[in-house]
């Protein structure tokens, strides 16, 4: 087993945590590989061991953000930005692919993105408990708000209304794959050990916004102080220490892994091995709808999940490639 840095000693004080570390090494070595795609627009990330997860009081322990554990990864490439509408258009034109939202005939749209705030949507097309999500017939990646909407002025924005299955199809076409959750967090941290955000611990250093999230009172008032009320171009805001843009905020990003709220139940955190109870896939990074008062998940250690066929106006993805 490779050596781990000194932080492992304090993060792995029990036999259970030592077993977790060994498991992470084994699963990382056995993860699926993809090395046929172009590396244009990608960043080469060095191999290394990092402290994954958090035990910070601002986190959500029930999401499985902890315990902090040492994870070792090989060198790999990652897309500098989330896959954009330009990228996805090329994929569709090349393959005639139809997304799951297109096949189902509808997708979820945030009410605030609709011209009338979703007031005309019937109650049966809302989600109980989260009425700001509206089921819009005709909403898809190329019509983000439904019929009458298009991608004009948004070709450099992340593609949305893509399910996990859609993202996997794109990645296969591109000769790449979705990142494991460990790869995603390692890359998102930008080389900073246990920092809250990709740039440090201050959300707005020197009063400057560093990501696209909600400002105001969610879900009714968005002051858009960061410059964006909805998605932003995929290369907005300064990149992190590895040269990656918008690893937090803007859109949630699909990962390869099956979701488990308890990290050590499965090796799938590094290598997807099969569906646990619930059969959801991991998403990381938060989105433009995240706010401290409701969804404080634009932290690099934060986690969420959704079913593989789900799509919304705030879920996208980026790819990785092996060396």
State percent of the chain over pLDDT 70.
84
* Cβ-contact 230, 213 below 8 angstroms: no
Of the candidate ranges 45-49, 123-127, 202-206, 232-236, the one whose mean pLDDT is the lowest: 123-127
Question: What is the rounded distance in angstroms from the CA atom of residue 3 to the CA atom of residue 231?
Answer: 41
Overall average pLDDT of the 264-275 stretch: 41
* CB crowding 145-184: b at 16 or more within 10 Å, else e: bbeebebeebebbbbbbbbbbbbbbbbbebebbbbbbbbb
Spatial distance between the Cα atoms of 164 and 58, rounded to a whole number of angstroms: 28
- The string of pLDDT tens digits covering residues 305-320 is 999 999 999 999 999 9
More confident residue, 62 or 318: 318
DSSP 46: P
Q: Do 218 and 290 contact (CB within 8 A), yes or no?
A: no
User: Sign of the C-alpha dihedral, residues 247, 296, 65, 316?
Assistant: negative
Give the pTM: 0.87
Domains of the chain, with CATH numbers? 7-84+158-322 (3.90.1580.10)
Per residue in 183-194, pLDDT tens? 999 999 999 999
Residue 3 pLDDT > 50: no
Least Cα distance to 87 among 233, 298, 285, 188 occurs for 233
Between CA 322 and CA 77 the distance in angstroms is 6
Task: Specify the 3-state DSSP secondary structure of 212.
Answer: coil
Is it the case that residue 214 has pLDDT exceeding 60? yes
Give the residue, 74 or 116, on which the prediction is more confident. 74
**What is the spatial distance between Cα 159 and Cα 172, in angstroms, rounded to a whole number?**
17
For the chain, the average pLDDT equals 86
More confident residue, 25 or 95: 95
Q: What is the DSSP string of 242-288?
A: TS---SSSSSEEEEEEEP-SSGGG-GGGTS-----TT--EEEES--T
Is the distance from CB of 203 to CB of 299 less than 8 angstroms? no
Split at pLDDT 50, 70, 90, the class of 266 is very low
* pLDDT tens figures, 145-168: 999 999 999 999 999 999 999 999
């Amino acid at each position: 087993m490779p050596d781990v840095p000194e932080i492992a000693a304090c993060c792995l004080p029990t036999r259970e945590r030592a077993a977790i570390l060994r498991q992470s090494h084994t699963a990382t070595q056995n993860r699926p590989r993809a090395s046929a795609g172009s590396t244009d627009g990608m960043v080469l990330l060095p191999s290394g061991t990092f402290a994954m997860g958090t035990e910070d009081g601002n986190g959500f322990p029930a999401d499985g953000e902890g315990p902090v554990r040492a994870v070792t990864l090989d060198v790999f490439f990652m897309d500098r930005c989330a896959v954009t509408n330009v990228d996805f258009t090329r994929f569709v034109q090349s393959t005639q692919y139809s997304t799951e939202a297109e096949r189902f005939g509808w997708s979820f749209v945030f009410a605030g993105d609709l011209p009338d705030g979703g007031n005309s949507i019937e109650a049966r097309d809302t989600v109980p408990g989260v009425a700001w999500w509206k089921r819009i017939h005709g909403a898809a990646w190329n019509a983000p708000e439904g019929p009458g909407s298009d991608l004009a002025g948004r070709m450099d924005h992340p593609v949305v209304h893509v399910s996990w299955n859609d993202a996997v199809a794109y990645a296969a076409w591109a000769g790449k794959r979705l990142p494991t959750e460990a790869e995603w967090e390692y890359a998102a941290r930008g080389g900073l050990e246990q920092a809250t955000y990709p740039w440090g611990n201050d959300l707005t250093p020197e009063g400057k916004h560093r990501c696209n999230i909600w400002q105001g009172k969610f879900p009714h008032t968005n002051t858009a102080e960061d410059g964006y009320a909805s998605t932003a171009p995929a290369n907005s805001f300064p990149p992190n220490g590895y040269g990656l843009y918008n690893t937090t905020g803007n859109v949630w990003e699909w990962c390869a892994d099956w979701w488990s709220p308890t990290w050590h139940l499965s090796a799938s955190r590094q290598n997807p091995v099969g569906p646990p109870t619930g059969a959801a896939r991991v998403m990381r990074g938060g989105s433009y709808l995240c706010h401290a008062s409701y969804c404080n998940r634009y932290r690099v250690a934060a986690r969420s999940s959704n079913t593989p066929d789900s799509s919304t106006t705030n879920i996208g993805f980026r790819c990785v490639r092996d060396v």
